[in-house]
Amino acid sequence: MTNLKDLKTRIGSVKSTQKITKAKQMVAAAKLRRAEERATDARPYTERMEMVLANLAAGSEGNPNAPKLLAGTGKQETHLLIVATADKGLCGGFNSSIVRLAREHITRLQGEGKKIKIIAVGRKGDDQLKRLYGNLIIWKTNFLEVKQIGFAQASEIAEKVLFMFDAGEFDVATLFYGKFKNVMTQTPTPQQIIPAIAPEGVEAPDLRGAVYDYEPDEAEILTALLPRYVGVQIFRALLENVASEQAASMTAMDNATRNAGEMIEKLNLQYNRARQAQITTELIEIIAGAEAL
């Protein structure tokens, strides 16, 4: 027969867990609103920069003096993967989905004989990647001590990436992050940032027949714009990650709270049945003893 004390202890334990998951859900919901606002507010700037880049890049196509960040090194032998994840767990499959996408990318590139280097941004991504690709991780960082991610954190990563590119340590850099769509949907997204290319779907602005003369010329503008473009894209990815993490955490904790409630109901039913069976057994023993007398 099931021990009533053990069942009661287990019910209390699940109730305590339910309180924790409910609290974390409320905290994530409170943080999500602000994180979503920051991610949404950053999009117009990055999208406009992408449009300007597409326009200038079109004008510089075939130009031998085009900046190296746009033209590339002329080869694609060494790839740098910047894998941005969260520093904390309890957010469903958010971190795993980004790492899975990066792993698929690594497998494909290694199959083509390419050399891989990894920058792990976020503790959870580093924890998962180092199991199989620890020897490929050349640098890692996290934001556990940072109250709110700002452009300063993105600039630090961008400076590291640009320094490595100038030193000839890689040919192509791809950024992996979770793009926030809504509370239920966060999409793992790869984006090549070096050589800089406009993301799919971004078109050069319609000039309606107008012709613009750039001063200084396109190459000089791009030389100044492209390093900032790298930093802006990394910053955007970090903001999208924060919003996606909170949304995934809120959803995961909501599911956990409901699952805990269902488990409590089942345990209560099991407890009541066991208690009833114990009372019935005791009554039978009392009646049998009375009859024997």
Residues assigned a catalytic role: 91
Residue 293: helix, strand or coil by DSSP?
Answer: coil
DSSP state of 179: E
The whole-angstrom separation of Cα 68 and Cα 175 is 18
- 147 class by beta-carbon count within 10 Å (0-12 exposed, 13-18 middle, 19+ buried): exposed
Sign of CA dihedral 233, 239, 242, 243: negative
The residues facing 177 across adjacent strands are 189
User: What's the token pair of residue 219?
Assistant: 């190459």
Helix, strand or coil, per DSSP, at residue 187: strand
* Backbone φ, ψ for residue 89 (5° rounding): -95, -150
Q: Tokens 């790492």, residue?
A: 99
Measured distance CA(176)–CA(233) in Å, rounded = 11
- The structure tokens listed for 236 are 């955007």
Q: CA–CA separation, 163 vs 173, rounded Å?
A: 12
Which whole-number Å values give the CA distances from 126 to 54, 102, 131, 136, 144, in the listed order? Answer: 33, 12, 9, 11, 13
Rounded Cα–Cα distance for residues 172 and 73 (Å): 9
